[in-house]
């Protein structure tokens, strides 16, 4: 008698990769950067990650349920966790809990699920969340404790947690002395007041090369990013385009006016540029999809970031740059299609 078999479509191979696997790799790659973050900014970073993740998963589950999608399957794709972690890394460590709440509400419900959920979003959800929070709560979102002061004030984990859950911006707590400007803030203020940049370089916000603490964090993100490249989780086009273009653009402005503009090293290692190059601009869903398109996308992110840093209204411009390039992505994809085999 003949034997019968179940049929299934080719390829007849065990799965090679999964969406959840890809997202988990991204999280692993973020780990060294997160550790550095905690080292310089205290345990608040971890609580922010935890809070954002909880809110993100909650909103994700609610949105999936409302849309009638299988909740279990999609919660396991880890995409909401990646969004939450990236957002949390951009939030000041002592920011009140409702920042994470608002951010994740906009990231998951508005930016992601209203556009069709995983794979459908036009904009990078983490950056939408960041920009909404930054524009709505500018004070709370810019209150970074100087790295030097964390140890000085001896803010333990419990105090940190209570501060975050207390729900009041750090500024209101009479800790004005504690919260201070980042290196990019200092550069901006200096540029606005016509002060030479060398004077700012002496401030406590600066370390050896660039922003104090930030320079190290950027280094660890670079390491994580290199690992993602090695594992082929991200393509090289975006990070290389971002970094090379940023260095070029920064060099040109710096050489033109070294008294006003920071050096390329400061630009690269301060703020979210490296994080953005490897972890944010590489979001496949909201970015470009062809190889050449990704080069254009990365270059655009770098140029817009630096234009905003130099002449815009915010000290760092990665989030705005990414969102602007998200808008341009479909157009770029349209004009950077590869030549198909056999076509002239």
How many residues form the binding site for another protein (CB under 8 A)?
47
Which of 65, 66, 114, 119 touches another protein by CB under 8 A?
A: 119
User: In the complex with another protein, which residue's Cβ is closer, 7 or 208?
Assistant: 7
Which of 65, 66, 120, 255 touches another protein by CB under 8 A?
A: 120
d(C-alpha 278, C-alpha 242), whole Å: 9
b or e along 236-269 (b: 16 or more beta carbons within 10 Å of the residue's beta carbon)?
A: ebbbbbbbebbeebbeebbeeeeebbbbbebbbb
To another protein, the closest distance from the beta carbon of 39 in angstroms equals 32
Query: To 10 degrees, what angle do helices 157-166 and 44-67 make?
Result: 50
Which of 2, 177, 192, 311 touches another protein by CB under 8 A?
A: 2
In whole angstroms, how far apart are CA 303 and each of 112, 241, 306, 307?
Answer: 26, 10, 5, 6
- For position 327 contacting another protein by CB under 8 A, the verdict is no
DSSP per position, 150-215: HHHHT--HHHHHHHHHHT--GGGGT-TTT-B--HHHHHHHHHHHT--HHHHHTSTTB-SSSBTTHH
Site for another protein in 45-74 (CB under 8 A): 70, 73-74
Which of 55, 60, 77, 249 touches another protein by CB under 8 A?
A: 77
**Site mask, another protein, residues 287-326, x = CB under 8 A?**
x-xxx--x--------------------------------
Select from 110-118, 124-132, 249-257, 297-305 the region that touches another protein (CB under 8 A): 110-118
Q: How many CA atoms lie within 13 A of 51 on its CB side?
A: 28
- For position 342 contacting another protein by CB under 8 A, the verdict is yes
- 256: Cβ contacts below 8 Å, ≥ 6 apart: none
User: In the complex with another protein, which residue's Cβ is closer, 19 or 35?
Assistant: 19
User: In the complex with another protein, which residue's Cβ is closer, 118 or 247?
Assistant: 118
To another protein, the closest distance from the beta carbon of 300 in angstroms equals 17
Q: Judge contact between 321 and 305, C-beta under 8 A.
A: yes
| C-alpha of 221 from chain center | 11
Site for another protein in 232-291 (CB under 8 A): 235, 284-285, 287, 289-291
- For position 339 contacting another protein by CB under 8 A, the verdict is yes
| Residues forming beta bridges with residue 206, ordered by sequence position | 211
In whole angstroms, how far apart are CA 315 and each of 146, 165, 214, 240, 310?
Answer: 16, 27, 14, 23, 8
User: In the complex with another protein, which residue's Cβ is closer, 186 or 228?
Assistant: 228
User: In the complex with another protein, which residue's Cβ is closer, 18 or 136?
Assistant: 18
Which of 58, 117, 166, 219 touches another protein by CB under 8 A?
A: 117
To another protein, the closest distance from the beta carbon of 273 in angstroms equals 23
Residues forming the site for another protein (CB under 8 A): 2-19, 21-22, 70, 73-74, 77, 79, 116-120, 235, 284-285, 287, 289-291, 294, 333, 337-344
């Amino acid at each position: 008698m003949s034997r019968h078999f179940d049929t299934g479509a080719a390829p007849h191979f065990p799965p090679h990769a999964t969406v959840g696997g890809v997202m988990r790799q991204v999280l692993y790659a973020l780990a060294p950067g997160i550790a550095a973050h905690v080292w310089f900014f205290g345990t608040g970073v971890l609580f922010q990650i935890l809070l954002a993740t909880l809110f993100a998963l909650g909103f994700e589950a609610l949105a999936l349920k409302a849309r009638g999608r299988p909740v279990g399957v999609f919660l396991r794709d880890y995409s909401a966790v990646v969004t939450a972690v990236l957002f949390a890394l951009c939030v000041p460590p002592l920011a009140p809990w409702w920042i994470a709440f608002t951010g994740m509400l906009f990231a998951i419900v508005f930016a992601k699920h209203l556009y069709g959920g995983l794979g459908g979003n036009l904009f990078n959800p983490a950056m939408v969340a960041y920009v909404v929070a930054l524009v709505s709560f500018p004070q709370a979102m810019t209150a970074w404790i100087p790295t030097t002061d964390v140890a000085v004030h001896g803010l333990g984990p419990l105090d940190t947690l209570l501060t975050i859950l207390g729900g009041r911006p750090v500024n209101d707590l009479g800790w004005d002395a504690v919260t201070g400007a980042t290196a990019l803030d200092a550069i901006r203020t200096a540029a606005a007041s016509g002060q030479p940049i060398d004077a700012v370089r002496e401030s406590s916000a600066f370390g050896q090369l660039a922003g104090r603490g930030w320079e190290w964090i950027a280094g660890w993100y670079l390491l994580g990013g290199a690992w993602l490249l090695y594992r082929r989780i991200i393509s090289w086009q975006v990070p290389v385009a971002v970094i090379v273009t940023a260095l070029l653009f920064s060099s040109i402005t710096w050489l033109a006016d070294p008294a006003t503009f920071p050096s390329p090293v400061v630009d690269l290692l301060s703020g979210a540029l490296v994080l953005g190059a490897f972890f944010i601009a590489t979001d496949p869903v909201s970015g470009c999809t062809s190889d050449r398109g990704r080069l254009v996308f990365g270059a655009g992110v770098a140029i817009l970031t630096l234009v905003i840093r130099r002449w815009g209204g915010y000290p760092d411009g990665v989030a705005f740059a990414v969102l602007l390039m998200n808008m341009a992505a479909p157009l770029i994809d349209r004009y950077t299609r590869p030549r198909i085999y056999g076509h002239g």
